[in-house]
Structures are given as structure tokens and as C-alpha cells.
Amino acid sequence: MVHHAYRFAPGTVVVAPPPAGSASDFVQGYVSLALMRWALPFLGLVSGYLFFRRLTPSLAGFLVKLRTRARTVLVPFVIWSGLGVLFAVAVTSSPYRDVSAYWTVHSISEALDRWLVHPVLYPLWFLQALMACMLLSPLVYLAVKTLRGWVLLIAVAWWALDWQPEALSPWISATAFPPFIVGSTIAILGWRAPWAARKAAPASLTAVLAGRLAGVRRAEGPSSGRLRGSSRPDCSSLRCRSSCT
């Protein structure tokens, strides 16, 4: 919601925050178009890491992983993109069809294109990009195994230069694919953060003292009754008087 909270004319594409007409406009543009730019690359990085984290590097392993991702990525894309097309069909048949040509569909071929290739619900392009990343995951795996950490230089250069052939958009995305490669590299090479690689730290002083105190209490348990009362056994009953005298 924050990322899409800026006000621009429909169809306007903004690469950098526009000149601010006021302090409010500056803050709005800077947050929405600058600070929030990390969201999609970070999602691509996490997607690459999770894809390869527990992957068995074999044909069967890739097929199992792709089948799982089809349920979580492909099926939602098909459903939501289809709902977008149905909405566009409804708009086309309504009195509001002249408001924006973007929300209209006039033929079956156009409906199929707006369903599977150029979704009416434009943000779904990222799911298309993730599907392409996962289909090409065997090539990513071979690249990481061959180039090791050097593949990160390729990914960073690709992302920084924003190399985006129009014919491959949105499937091969400069926003999603390079971060996917970075996350894949971390998972395949088994890199861990320094604090995650350390051995378990020794028990804290509080835990040690608590354990010792619990042990002392267990050891004193049978005799605790004598500490609160008399040190001699109870000889008040007639049955044990003879044995206590």
C-alpha cells in the first residue's frame, strides 16, 4: 500500500522521484519510488534461496520442486489473472468502457493475451518472472556450480545495468532474475551468516544456577518433612510405640 500510495496520472511511468512541489510531495515520492525499491529484489532473493535450500539436485528433485511451485505460483497466477480478464470483459460491456482502454477486452485472442501474457492485473508480472526463474533453475544451478561465488558479479552487474530486452519482458526480468540468482547461490553453496555458523554458546550463568538449585531441591526432597517438624519419627500411633521405645 505504501509503495503504490503516490499520485500520478494513469499510465505514467516514473523511474525517479519527480521534482517536489512541496515537502509532502517530496516525502511521498522518495518513500514510494526510492526507499521501497528493495521490496521486489528482496522477494526474488528469498524465492531463489527457498527454491534451492532443500533441493535434491537431480531430474526428479527439480520436477518435485517445480510441481510444488506450480501450486503456489502458477495456479494463483492463472486464477487472479483470469479474474482480471473477467473484470475487463464486464467493463467493456458497461457504460464505463470509454474511461480507459486498458480495462477493455474486445476479442478472444486479446482476452487470452491479457490472461496469460500481458495480465490485466499488471502486478502479476512478478509471478510470471518467478515462473521463468524456476523453469531456468537447472541452468542457474549449473552456473553456480561452475562459477561458484563469481556468479554474483554477473547478477549484480545485470541488476545494476538494468539490462532488460523488451522481447523477454516480463518473463526474464532484470528486477527478479538477478536477485533470484543471488539467493540461489547462497543456498547452493551453503553460505551461512557468521552468527549462524558458530557453535552453540555455553549455558548462561542463570541456567546453570537454576539447574543446580533444582538438583539440590531434588536431593533434599525426602528429608524436607523432618526439617519442618521433629527430627524423630512420629511415634504417636499405638502400632509403632513399641518399636520406637
Using a pLDDT cut of 70, give the percent of the chain over it: 69
Residue 126, classed as helix, strand or coil, is: helix
Whole-angstrom distance, CA of residue 154 vs CA of residue 84: 36
CB 70 within 8 A of CB 131: no
pLDDT of residue 18: 54
Whether the pLDDT of residue 241 is over 70: the answer is: no
CB 146 within 8 A of CB 139: no
Ranges of each domain in the chain? 1-33, 34-193
105-158 pLDDT tens trace: 999 999 999 999 999 998 899 999 999 999 999 999 999 999 998 999 999 999
Whole-angstrom distance, CA of residue 152 vs CA of residue 103: 40
pLDDT of residue 100: 81
CB 136 within 8 A of CB 173: no
Whole-angstrom distance, CA of residue 62 vs CA of residue 228: 69
CA distance to 43, 45, 65, 110, per residue, from 70 (Å):
17, 19, 9, 25
Whole-angstrom distance, CA of residue 111 vs CA of residue 102: 12
12-51 pLDDT tens trace: 545 555 555 677 777 777 777 777 778 888 999 999 999 9
pLDDT of residue 186: 95
Identify the CA nearest to 157 among candidates 136, 138, 182.
Answer: 182
170-210 pLDDT tens trace: 899 999 999 999 999 999 998 876 655 555 445 554 555 56
The b-or-e profile of 82-109 (16+ CB within 10 A means b, else e) is bebbeebbebbeeeebeeeeebbbeeee
Identify the CA nearest to 169 among candidates 125, 116, 103, 114.
Answer: 125
Please state the φ and ψ torsions of residue 227, each to the nearest 5 degrees.
-70, -35
